[in-house]
Structure 1
Amino acid sequence: MYQAMTSLGFAAESDYHGEIHLQGAPKGASVLVLGAGLAGMTAAYELRKAGYKVQVLEYNAKAGGRCWTLRGGDRFTEMGGATQHCEFDSGLYLNPGPWRIPYHHYAVLDYCKRFGVHLEPFVQVNHNAVFHASKAFGGKPQKIRAVQADFQGHIAELLHKAVGQNALSASVTREDGDKLLEALRDWGALDGQGRYLKSPAASLRRGYVSDPAGGLMPLAQDSDPLDAAELVRSGLWRHLIDGQEYDYQTTLFQPVGGMDMIAQAFARQVNDLIRYNSKVTAIQQDDKGVTVTYVDREGAGAPMQAKADWCVCTLPLSILGQLPLNVSQDMQAAIRSVPYDASVKIGLQFKRRFWEEDERIFGGISYTDLPIEKISYPSTDYGKPGKGVLLGGYVWGPNAYEFTAMSPQERVKKAVEYGAQIHPQYTAEFDNGIAVGWHRVPWTNGCYGMWTEETRAQHYRNLCQIDGRIVLAGEHASYIPAWQEGAVLSSLDAITRLHTHIVASQRAA
């Protein structure tokens, strides 16, 4: 699985080696950057530092692209015209796009450090959160710690029996078999006979019916393991791997106050270069430079043009593929070969933080086979009185297309209905919500670029090559798609190659 994910770019380590130093920019050379997401702002920041004249065209009224946070008072109009007004209380927010940063995303973390973005831990795995299968265990959610301990214990018991009966003698020597038996007893909380049973050792892993206490309080009561056969049939074990995958291993981070703190920090560096509310309508190049036609996003005035010697285009391929663009056939084919995945995020505000007060869930993610797929609890402001916002649904695949087809109000309503099967408090405590379907976000028309092994082999290098005076950058031009790190690394690579090409072209002239 890891090898497959790596080949598709979902489990790759950042290849970042520190701050770049571009030198020798030709005097007066200009670069036009399309898009003020992280890729575009990285390019603008580094190219200006290198001595280029830089201008950025951005569709939205603010920078960041998919590095986006919704707070109380914000308004969002999706394709189709539906407008949502975020009603979250002050200090509460939803990150519709990126919401966590792995510790090995070195470039993003380095820019956060350089630009003064304060980070805090993002809790990926909380053993007190739940796994939920609607048709298993009577639909009752099961604590993650119990599922992990019991699945581990039952598997350890089976292996213990196999080793004890010499069923693995062809692979394990007698001496190694003894060590393996010892390891299985420890790993699976087995008793002296290699059985996984109700016991103090098992309760230390899966939790107690009544926890150890103090003084003359009742004694601790051990808990009963889940039935092995039903546990296997439930499929709950599928989620155990999530926190062990490379992208989600401890420690993960989030910016204090919302993911767009990163976008705001970048914008403070390059804000004077950005022309906002600029919708690109055509991109043309010749042997002298690049001309980009754009209009005011609100529809005011006639079409305008921006010109430069070179262009770094960070527009999502889902947008770029719709524009008149004179690049090579190979690049055109590459642009049109990458579809964009569907995803929906739903933020729900509740009258109180019941997940903490009632269930002692502080951060982390619960998983379900219901269409909402995930519930993520805030990794900040623990124990704070008053209202709270959680991620009430993070939807992918066919469910995402179904949710995207709904009105925003219906998405929120469904998220509350499904979530109430996991947390009955939903019904009484729900306050308001907001839902973003990425195929209806007008500046991306989708969530991220979906490569396959075949399309990467055929088109990836063509997409990333400098084509005349244009080079592309963004998460779609990386082996870390859907991550901000992919966008930043792609940009650094593109502008480094472009700078080398410009300098070489100048010398040749």
Structure 2
Amino acid sequence: MSPGQKGKERKNMQRALGQVTRRDLLTMIGATAGSAALYQAMTTLGHARSSPYKGPVNLQGDPGAAKVLILGAGLAGMVAALELRAAGYEVEVLEYREKAGGRCWTLRGGDTYTELGGFRQDIEYAEGNYFNPGPWRIPHHHHAILDYCRRLGVRLEPFIQRNHNAYLHSTAAFGGKPQRFREIATDFRGHTSELLAKAVDQGNLGELVSDEDKEMLLEALRINGVLDRDFGYVKSQHTSEFRGFQSWPGGGANAAPRPSEPIASDDLLQSGLWRWLGEAETVNHQETMFQPVGGMDMIAQAFEREITDLVRYNTKVISIKQDETGVTAIYEDTASDAEPQETRAEWCICTIPFSILGQIENNFSDGMKGVIDKVHYAGSVKFGLEFNRRFWEEDEHIYGGISYTDLPISLIGYPSNDYLSGGKGVLVGGYSQDAGAYQFTAMAPKERIRKALEYGAIIHPQYRSEFSTGASVVWHRVPWALGCYGTWNNRKADYDRATRFDGRTLMAGEHISYLPGWQEGALLSGLDAISRLHDRVMNG
């Protein structure tokens, strides 16, 4: 880059600094300074919050003969059932599926899944392999779900979110060739640090940096940006210790390493690959993250073991009516041709997703009905692709983590378990949201798998020869959810109404939380609902 070009670039940065938004500032801090600085900045600006869970719920007092009807045996419903029974309530749970867990769901070999449209998938993974269509990771600060895993004996292992040896990929950059994460991350940090350091050194930031802080800031940029004494980001042994070597250090003859050439700043910026550098810096994706050993539904199974005698499975609720003394639910047994039946309780906790609840006959208030109708559910598609060998480890030395791409599959997730085990392995062969998921929603399962393989082979050519079998779940075609998670058009106006008692019913679930799509949100919502219900029972 010529001196004139560099000067122009510095002026553009100065101009941008005067118009920076909170989001821009956080992105810059995260990309150049890392997660600790980002978290501190987010806390200062009011964004970052740990889970408010403080420990086991304590429901004091005898509820007498009060009965609670819980609709739905997802995590919100099961934690409500578990704690209410412990507090002395009579509890009955109605669950649409043949098993509990809701979106805490795992597919294994021998399972079958039929989506809307009658498309059936027979899962043929090898023994021990699995795929989590819904949640697949647990942040370290989601205290409620971690506590229940501890209390219920669910074994956890680390989930690798960021892998410096995974790929970043754009069809429009570098001839469509994937780039290693560490190269993009190091070069982006180096080039931006060089630009900022020279702007500081030449006084171009004006009053943004005090004279006292100038030298300290320059030293910080030099160290963190891997800059030389002249604040340049250049090819060297030192930069290669971060971005990787052209020829790696070895042993014996001709073992000396050779430094690698950084990507030019213009090429790097134009590539757009830097857009994914902050994915693992958001507080819900920072290390350490966890996953249950053996599949996410190990959590559902642990809850289910505690409350299975309270659950009536294969029950499709078709009517919910409440009066001054209780709530009546009418349901069909989907496993038989029996006539509809009904059950009644003094109170109800309804965890049915609003996408389904809006289609069930009810006499909720007009205000509650209005909120139910306005909450939409995000589209999402996820692929679980099994291959005959773990080529990502054997050929490319990728152990866990995620590669990102601008292809419709959005990402490829590598398993965080059974490293170096040989044999077949399952990748998350794509995980797309909303608009990116819609094209797959319209396809039959076999066509979806074909497209996922086509896209994935652009990043991993081994797809073509190593594919064994696969499964996919498009959440708008999941009969018991009709979407991935709840999204609010106007949370400020509607959320408070959704959390209030409606007659003798309280709503709960991930949609009644500020953690949409996370299991923590479901648990916190369920615990909040039973605490308020118990207070109502005790105090009238």
What band does the TM-score fall into relative to the shorter chain? Answer: over 0.9
Secondary structure, in 3 states, of the residue corresponding to 2:376?
Answer: coil
Asked if residue 487 in structure 1 is aligned to residue 518 in structure 2, the reply is: no
| Aligned position for 2:267 | 230
How far off its partner does 1:307 sit? 0.9
How far off its partner does 1:159 sit? 1.1
How far off its partner does 1:24 sit? 2.0
Q: Is the 8 A contact 1:95 1:258 kept in 2?
A: yes
Please point out which of 418, 442, 447 is paired with 1:410: 447
Residue range with higher mean Cα deviation, 323-332 or 52-61: 323-332
Query: Distance in 1 between the 2:261 and 2:62 partners?
Result: 70
| Aligned position for 1:446 | 483
Please point out which of 487, 492, 507 is paired with 1:457: 492
Q: Is the 8 A contact 1:25 1:499 kept in 2?
A: no
Asked if residue 82 in structure 1 is aligned to residue 92 in structure 2, the reply is: no
Query: Distance in 2 between the 1:175 and 1:458 partners?
Result: 47
Asked if residue 292 in structure 1 is aligned to residue 329 in structure 2, the reply is: yes
Query: Distance in 2 between the 1:490 and 1:11 partners?
Result: 19
Please point out which of 302, 308, 324 is paired with 1:265: 302
Please point out which of 496, 499, 503 is paired with 2:534: 499
Please point out which of 82, 87, 98 is paired with 1:45: 82
Q: Is the 8 A contact 1:36 1:64 kept in 2?
A: yes
Root-mean-square deviation (CA, aligned residues, Å) is 1.5
The one-letter code sitting in structure 2 at the alignment partner of 1:468 is G
Identity of aligned residues (%): 57
Query: Distance in 2 between the 1:191 and 1:441 partners?
Result: 55
Asked if residue 436 in structure 1 is aligned to residue 473 in structure 2, the reply is: yes
The one-letter code sitting in structure 1 at the alignment partner of 2:142 is H
Asked if residue 188 in structure 1 is aligned to residue 235 in structure 2, the reply is: no
Query: Distance in 1 between the 2:477 and 2:409 partners?
Result: 18
Secondary structure, in 3 states, of the residue corresponding to 1:413?
Answer: helix
Asked if residue 107 in structure 1 is aligned to residue 105 in structure 2, the reply is: no
Query: Distance in 2 between the 1:101 and 1:307 partners?
Result: 36
Query: Distance in 2 between the 1:26 and 1:142 partners?
Result: 61
When residues 12 and 448 of structure 1 are mapped into structure 2, their CA distance, relative to the original with a 3 A threshold, is: farther
Please point out which of 339, 353, 357 is paired with 1:302: 339
Secondary structure, in 3 states, of the residue corresponding to 1:18?
Answer: coil
The one-letter code sitting in structure 2 at the alignment partner of 1:145 is R
| Aligned position for 1:469 | 504
Asked if residue 34 in structure 1 is aligned to residue 91 in structure 2, the reply is: no
Q: Is the 8 A contact 1:12 1:480 kept in 2?
A: no
When residues 11 and 326 of structure 1 are mapped into structure 2, their CA distance, relative to the original with a 3 A threshold, is: farther
The one-letter code sitting in structure 2 at the alignment partner of 1:333 is G
User: Where in structure 1 do 4 or more consecutive aligned residues deviate above 3 Å?
Assistant: 9-12
The answer for unaligned runs of 5 or more in structure 2 is 1-22, 27-38
Asked if residue 239 in structure 1 is aligned to residue 276 in structure 2, the reply is: yes
Q: Is the 8 A contact 1:12 1:479 kept in 2?
A: no
Query: Distance in 1 between the 2:348 and 2:316 partners?
Result: 16
The one-letter code sitting in structure 1 at the alignment partner of 2:291 is Q
Please point out which of 210, 216, 229 is paired with 2:253: 216
Equivalent runs, 1:356-371 vs 2, <5 Å: 356-371=393-408
Query: Distance in 2 between the 1:393 and 1:11 partners?
Result: 28
Query: Distance in 2 between the 1:32 and 1:170 partners?
Result: 63
How far off its partner does 1:299 sit? 4.8
The one-letter code sitting in structure 2 at the alignment partner of 1:463 is A
Query: Distance in 2 between the 1:67 and 1:196 partners?
Result: 46
Secondary structure, in 3 states, of the residue corresponding to 2:157?
Answer: strand
How far off its partner does 1:12 sit? 4.3
How far off its partner does 1:10 sit? 9.5
Secondary structure, in 3 states, of the residue corresponding to 1:76?
Answer: strand
How far off its partner does 1:382 sit? 0.3
The one-letter code sitting in structure 2 at the alignment partner of 1:373 is S
Query: Distance in 2 between the 1:26 and 1:64 partners?
Result: 27
Q: Is the 8 A contact 1:438 1:447 kept in 2?
A: yes
Secondary structure, in 3 states, of the residue corresponding to 2:398?
Answer: coil
Q: Is the 8 A contact 1:10 1:479 kept in 2?
A: no
| Aligned position for 2:317 | 280
How far off its partner does 1:173 sit? 3.2
Query: Distance in 2 between the 1:240 and 1:129 partners?
Result: 12
Secondary structure, in 3 states, of the residue corresponding to 1:497?
Answer: helix
How far off its partner does 1:31 sit? 0.6
Asked if residue 17 in structure 1 is aligned to residue 65 in structure 2, the reply is: no
The one-letter code sitting in structure 1 at the alignment partner of 2:158 is P
Query: Distance in 2 between the 1:347 and 1:47 partners?
Result: 37
Equivalent runs, 1:56-67 vs 2, <5 Å: 56-67=93-104
The one-letter code sitting in structure 1 at the alignment partner of 2:131 is L
- Deviation track 1:405-441 (CA, whole Å, cap 9, x = no partner) reads 1111111111110000001111111111100000000
Residue range with higher mean Cα deviation, 122-131 or 154-163: 154-163
Equivalent runs, 1:319-334 vs 2, <5 Å: 319-334=356-371
How far off its partner does 1:340 sit? 0.3
Q: Is the 8 A contact 1:318 1:339 kept in 2?
A: yes
When residues 261 and 10 of structure 1 are mapped into structure 2, their CA distance, relative to the original with a 3 A threshold, is: farther
How far off its partner does 1:67 sit? 0.2
Equivalent runs, 1:325-344 vs 2, <5 Å: 325-344=362-381
Q: Is the 8 A contact 1:58 1:278 kept in 2?
A: yes
When residues 246 and 75 of structure 1 are mapped into structure 2, their CA distance, relative to the original with a 3 A threshold, is: same
The one-letter code sitting in structure 2 at the alignment partner of 1:86 is I
Please point out which of 382, 386, 396 is paired with 2:423: 386
Residue range with higher mean Cα deviation, 299-308 or 479-488: 299-308
Residue range with higher mean Cα deviation, 345-354 or 297-306: 297-306
Residue range with higher mean Cα deviation, 166-175 or 427-436: 166-175
How far off its partner does 1:264 sit? 0.2
| Aligned position for 1:144 | 181
The one-letter code sitting in structure 2 at the alignment partner of 1:35 is G
Query: Distance in 2 between the 1:277 and 1:356 partners?
Result: 42
When residues 10 and 262 of structure 1 are mapped into structure 2, their CA distance, relative to the original with a 3 A threshold, is: farther
| Aligned position for 1:374 | 411
- Deviation track 1:79-100 (CA, whole Å, cap 9, x = no partner) reads 1100001111011111000000
The one-letter code sitting in structure 1 at the alignment partner of 2:492 is A
Q: Is the 8 A contact 1:10 1:480 kept in 2?
A: no
The answer for unaligned runs of 5 or more in structure 1 is none
The one-letter code sitting in structure 1 at the alignment partner of 2:478 is V
The one-letter code sitting in structure 1 at the alignment partner of 2:493 is Q
Give the total of aligned pairs.
Answer: 500
